Amino acid sequence: MNSQIKSFFSTCSIFLLSLIVLSFARFISKGNPYVYIVFPIIWFLLLFFIIIKTKGDLLLRDWKLFKSNKIKNILLSILTLILVYLVIMATHPIFNQFIPSKPITNYAFSTKSIIGLLFSVLAGANNIMVAFVEEVTYRHEGMYVFKSNKLLLILMLIVSSILFGFSHYYNFNGSFLASGPYVVAGAILGLSYLLSNNIWVPIVAHILFNSTDIIASITLLLLTIFK
């Protein structure tokens, strides 16, 4: 039980600190995306290396299991991805009403310059790292470690999904309520982990979901270079 309590507080701490880092980055950058992006990259790189150091055995074991039945697990990841897209599309109209009308700063990079496109690729790469960090944090530490107690597991599936959704506060113009679609998406990712018993299934699904930005940025960069 002590290890489970430790995991719960670890998940909550990462959730709170991530929002603090993003808020601090917004305050320091004053709307400059080139300054802003430095802080989340450093933060999620730190979390990435901590996870590799502390959860390396789990990740390696599950990766071997993932590869041993790769067709099934890849299909599960793709199915999870499709379900995530569907639930987000279905729930967006319900929660859009909670998005504040006053816009917050947009940190998109210019697509009219090579530098802007390079930074867009960097931001896209960071989004892939974020997907990895979030899955281990919210799905494993925040939920799966409680699997020995079914009632507690169900409760933590709900709690971790809420924290995951709320972590996208700035994606929805600064609204926790409007992040509801990502709460539901978090539950889908959590259930995929429970059904597959392999952390790489939700990780792959989440990476695929977050890869659209980097694919678009690389495509635009190549078109700009070779036009």
Residue whose tokens read 């430095």: 38
Q: What is the mean pLDDT of residues 194-212?
A: 97
**pLDDT at residue 221 in the model:** 87
Question: What's the farthest any 2 CA atoms get from each other in the chain?
Answer: 60
Can you tell me whether residue 48 is helix, strand or coil?
Answer: helix
Domain residue extents for the chain: 2-226
Residue 1 banded pLDDT, cuts 50, 70, 90: low
Q: 85-89, 102-106, 141-145 — which is least confidently predicted?
A: 102-106
9-45: per-residue pLDDT in tens? 999 999 999 999 999 999 999 889 999 999 999 999 9
pLDDT in tens, 212-227: 999 999 998 888 888 7
Q: What is the mean pLDDT of the chain?
A: 94
pLDDT of 124 reads 95
> For position 86, what pLDDT does the model report?
97
